[in-house]
Amino acid sequence: MEFKWTYEEQTSSIVRTFLKRQGISKKLLAKIKFQGGKIFVNETEQNVLFSLKTHDIVTVVIPDEEPHETLLADEVPIEIVFEDEHVLVVNKPAGIASIPAQYHPRGTMANRVKAYYVKQNYANQVVHVVTRLDRDTSGLMLFAKHGFAHAKLDQGLQKKQFVKKYQALVSGEVDSLQNHGNISMPIGRDLSSLLKRQVIETGQKAETEYWLKKRNQTCALVDIQLHTGRTHQIRVHFSAIGCPLLGDELYDGSLDLGIERQALHCYSLTFPHPFNNEPLYFQLPLAEDMATIAATI
């Protein structure tokens, strides 16, 4: 894969420094050097110590990635929301994990995406997961289609350039919900469980913002934006204020309305494109099981 930039600075700089500013890490530079990549300045091959002048054209050829043989391919169709040569956005169904675990090597979105890459005969077949969702959370999930895109997207995450929004169905003390509120409570491990988290004074800072969309006597639909990324954050926070998610048995959510997974859906994802910086915005309707209940509120 080839990338090209024009050096616009008035003062000289070596190629290595310039490429670092473009997001190319030491690890990627080593891959370019030792695994068949190339660096050109004005169409002449150069090394990373070459001194650049204004208007020089720098071209980098990044070698294709070898597929991970340990990641198995599951030939199950995926619902593609958006795809270009750098990113892939899919709609993850509830009940499907994002990535494999030691004793569960297949049946995940990563396995399905691997099969899709193989079927498309893409040069890069390594699956790069950028944003994950819990097994029983549905909605938008982002993959990078090569390592350089993954690194650039990770930089965007670190700079808080991503906005993920969720919708949830909650029950319990729904009359206490404000039209707009913030839940700011630290979250840490619940030592009585391998999976469970809890609000605890010694936990990490966690902040969840929400907007009430509608409610009746038994449940409510809320829009949610996370300002931190703690494990199970939405589920823990809403349970802590007496409004656990429908179907969320782990956090005392009601199972009475016919939904058997936490009623949580990532419906909106916004982030800058990793290479042209244009804003990308994706939105999905509620998953069918949640939409059926929401229609009755």
Of the residues 134, 136, 248, 289, only one is catalytic, namely 134
Distance in angstroms (rounded) separating the CA atoms of residues 204 and 229:
10
134 is catalytic: yes
Active-site residues: which are they? Answer: 134
